[in-house]
Structure 1
Amino acid sequence: MTFQSISPQLLSPFMLGDLPLKNRVVMAPLTRSRAGVERIANALMAEYYAQRASAGLIIGEATTISEQANGWVNSPGIYSDEQTMGWKQVVDAIHAKGGHIFLQLWHTGRASHSSFHNGQLPVAPSAIRISAYEIHTPSGKQPHEIPRILETEEIPGIVEDFRKAAERSQAAGFDGVEIHAANGFLIDQFLQSKTNHRSDRYGGSLENRFRFLQEIVEAVLTVWPANRVGVRINPNGVDGEMGSPDFRETFLYVAKQLNIYNLSYLHVMDGDTSGFHELTDIGFHGLGEPMTLAEFRSVFTGVLIGNSGYTQETAEKAIQAGYGDMIAFGRLYISNPDLVERFTHNLELNPMADPSTWYAFGAEGYTDFPTYTDTALSRFIH
């Protein structure tokens, strides 16, 4: 007897623009803090990603575009030659196994600390501090600081940093890039009315708040073709102390505007597994309800990737219903490097990884999870 997959659509091949993918399973970007103080991707990271190369698409972990963008201990960067070459060994390892990978480009904005920047305050659209929790810094856990407001004339320099990072990602051999506009980081801070109180051309109206992301997209498109550039948003989340009363209006506007560019995809954190702000936005359907992939399908004409708490079953339903074209899995990929194979053969998943190992340095909780060998599979397939 041969097991039949319960996910015929999730596991079917998919053309992402001109990129042929083996399936519609996406490995979500997962910050794992294994790059060291120099923020250089290394051999251990290459092993980790290569273990997961059966995913249709891997989105590499959030990677900072400049020193100013840093805000997470031991996360990787792509603003030096050494960092670019470090990522190349990761990309080569994935490609050697027939996989594909985009790199997520990241600026943390106010979700940072002066200890990352030689005493210089983190930057943000407005001087609004994260107060709900502390930040892990090179000198230990500390309260967030009031960020420095970016001057209008500074913003083109950050846009240029994104463009340069796109160039370096291309030099490293990536298949494309994802612009990180989610989870309370700098671009999200510009998009949301809660954190953007500016009065210049980057603040106020939806059009103005979108302008920073728009300029970044257009800059990256001078390096990569549109079918190799994605954008990630999180309309529902509280990460980075986010959540604006006009969240539904804001993110439907963003999705509509991104249609203009015919991008590779829009990656939407459409669940509320990391916490939902539960804000009321009178004038739109639903009061304080999380935005769904179906809402974005109604306004976005390109490829949609859903993400946030999906199971194999719910992912298949979203694809069969036509809401999502691909589904990203995060935490399941931490402890299941062979997630696609387990989905394919209806095999039990490994237990969730110990959270204390998520951001620790070394192989434990990173590359040491068991996979089903051919011998183990033979017990299930007769």
Structure 2
Amino acid sequence: MSTTKLFEPYKLGPITLPNRLVMAPLTRNRAMPPGMVPSPLAVEYYSQRASAGLLITEATQVSQQGQGYQDTPGIYSKEQVEGWRKVTDRVHERGGRIFLQLWHVGRVSHTSLQPGGGKPVAPSAIRAKGKTFVNGQFIDISEPRALELSEIPGIIDNFKRGAANALAAGFDGVEVHGANGYLLDQFAKDGTNKRTDAYGGSIENRARLMLDVSKAVAAEAGAARTGIRISPVTPSNDVSDSNPQPLFDHIVDGLEALKLVYIHVIEGATGGPRDNAPFDYASLRKRFTRAYIANNGYDFELANKQLAANAADLIAFGKPFISNPDLVERLKKGAPLNAWDKATFYGGGAKGYTDYPSLEQAEAAE
């Protein structure tokens, strides 16, 4: 049995995590239409994985406008709050800790998902080269429109309301989704933001919405219960920046000033190579004095290496948690991992969602 730092407790704000494994947010497209409410299967899915040091939910839209994919859950209606309450109650019954990830997709959407069939919104009217998931298939993203300056306070308020609703649903905290080419990331990066107002142009202006949202959410949920996910160099959803190092150094300086409890950093290309573009993640680590969650392509060996080098405090695992509800125990025992079934990642029912066997179940079946 391993005795590495990965299985040591960690104090995350007011919460003590029993280990340093974080279940990364993983979109699974199984919310119940028409209200985009978490299903009873979601209750079982998250509670099965409650042994993680921290669970972070799938990305959860703060408004209908914030939805970009079929059957993703929201946190803006009474029914959604009640649905999520069933999840948090079960996770807590099993001794787990869970944060909800607050999401607005921005331009990564389709008119069929938008209020009144309108255009998705973006910092600038630049269409993303990519696909979204609608009616069981991947289709082209719709052309967006640029947000009016007068609309931005409403976006910030939606995130703030989402944080309040998350706490009402029993979550231990919230994570602002500032990564992977969604709205806040679109504003931050100069490839997608061509604005000439207070939210465009300079690094300070482009970072403004991410920091404004983080400030509003922290004011609502408490900074000690607010984290954020960022992805400095991922090309996901057709985003890019001409000079990401000073941009994200500035962003992290702002997050440090807000005293957020963690930054959750996707190192490299989301779901792809860790070295797709040069970037000094150690610079972010030095600038931020609370928890650094490292993400992307981590296995047991790399997690141990980074923790031993003090390059991270917590390690987020994604796909391994999909197929291994008891990932913590399997890694502790050096047991083999279940292989994941990519065909069942997005949409469907229990298959590939709640039916992966635990180690105990697998051994009993032998």
TM-score, structure 2 length as denominator? 0.95
Which of 21, 24, 29 aligns to 2:17? It is 21
Q: Does residue 308 of the first structure (1) align with residue 304 of the second (2)?
A: no
Task: Decide which moves more: 209-218 or 18-27.
Answer: 209-218
Which of 103, 124, 127 aligns to 2:125? It is 127
Residue 214 of structure 1 deviates from its aligned partner by: 1.5
> Residue 322 of structure 1 aligns with which residue?
310
How far apart are the structure 2 equivalents of 1:312 and 1:42? 32
Mapping for residues 1-382 of structure 1, pairs under 5 Å: 4-5=1-2, 8-37=4-33, 38-117=35-114, 118-131=116-129, 133-138=130-135, 140-272=137-269, 274-275=271-272, 288-289=277-278, 291-351=279-339, 353-373=340-360, 376=363
Show CA shifts across 1:209-266 (max 9, x none): 1111121112112211111000100112111111211112211211122110111100
Q: Could you say what secondary structure the match of 1:222 adopts?
A: helix
Supply the AA of the counterpart residue of 1:103: L
Supply the AA of the counterpart residue of 1:363: A
How far apart are the structure 1 equivalents of 2:77 and 2:290? 33
Identity over aligned residues, as a percent?
45
How far apart are the structure 1 equivalents of 2:363 and 2:296? 30
Q: Could you say what secondary structure the match of 1:274 adopts?
A: coil
8 A contact 1:115–1:138 mirrored in 2: no
Residue correspondences, number: 363
Residue 375 of structure 1 deviates from its aligned partner by: 9.0
User: CA RMSD of the aligned region, Å?
Assistant: 1.8
Q: Which runs of 5+ in 1 are unaligned?
A: 280-287
8 A contact 1:60–1:104 mirrored in 2: yes
Q: Could you say what secondary structure the match of 1:62 adopts?
A: strand
Residue 119 of structure 1 deviates from its aligned partner by: 1.9
- Cα distance change, pair 183–375 in 1 and its aligned pair in 2 (3 A): closer
Q: Could you say what secondary structure the match of 1:240 adopts?
A: helix
How far apart are the structure 1 equivalents of 2:66 and 2:257? 28
Task: Decide which moves more: 109-118 or 137-146.
Answer: 137-146
How far apart are the structure 2 equivalents of 1:168 and 1:226? 16
How far apart are the structure 1 equivalents of 2:106 and 2:58? 17
How far apart are the structure 1 equivalents of 2:350 and 2:284? 38
Q: Could you say what secondary structure the match of 2:82 adopts?
A: helix
Show CA shifts across 1:110-134 (max 9, x none): 0001111132000000011112x33
8 A contact 2:122–2:146 mirrored in 1: yes
How far apart are the structure 2 equivalents of 1:24 and 1:141? 35
> Residue 283 of structure 1 aligns with which residue?
none
How far apart are the structure 2 equivalents of 1:152 and 1:8? 50
- Cα distance change, pair 203–273 in 1 and its aligned pair in 2 (3 A): closer
Residue 137 of structure 1 deviates from its aligned partner by: 2.2
Residue 326 of structure 1 deviates from its aligned partner by: 0.2
Task: Decide which moves more: 19-28 or 247-256.
Answer: 247-256
How far apart are the structure 2 equivalents of 1:296 and 1:108? 25
Q: Could you say what secondary structure the match of 2:165 adopts?
A: helix
Residue 355 of structure 1 deviates from its aligned partner by: 1.1
- Cα distance change, pair 211–99 in 1 and its aligned pair in 2 (3 A): same
How far apart are the structure 2 equivalents of 1:160 and 1:141? 31
Larger radius of gyration: 1
How far apart are the structure 2 equivalents of 1:367 and 1:185? 28
Show CA shifts across 1:18-51 (max 9, x none): 1011101000000001112221012100100000
TM-score, structure 1 length as denominator? 0.91
Show CA shifts across 1:65-85 (max 9, x none): 001101111010011000000
Instruction: Answer 1 or 2: which has greater helix percent.
Output: 2
Residue 144 of structure 1 deviates from its aligned partner by: 2.2
8 A contact 1:227–1:262 mirrored in 2: yes
Show CA shifts across 1:86-143 (max 9, x none): 0000000100000000000000000001111132000000011112x33222485432
- Cα distance change, pair 119–362 in 1 and its aligned pair in 2 (3 A): same
Supply the AA of the counterpart residue of 2:18: K
8 A contact 1:236–1:276 mirrored in 2: no
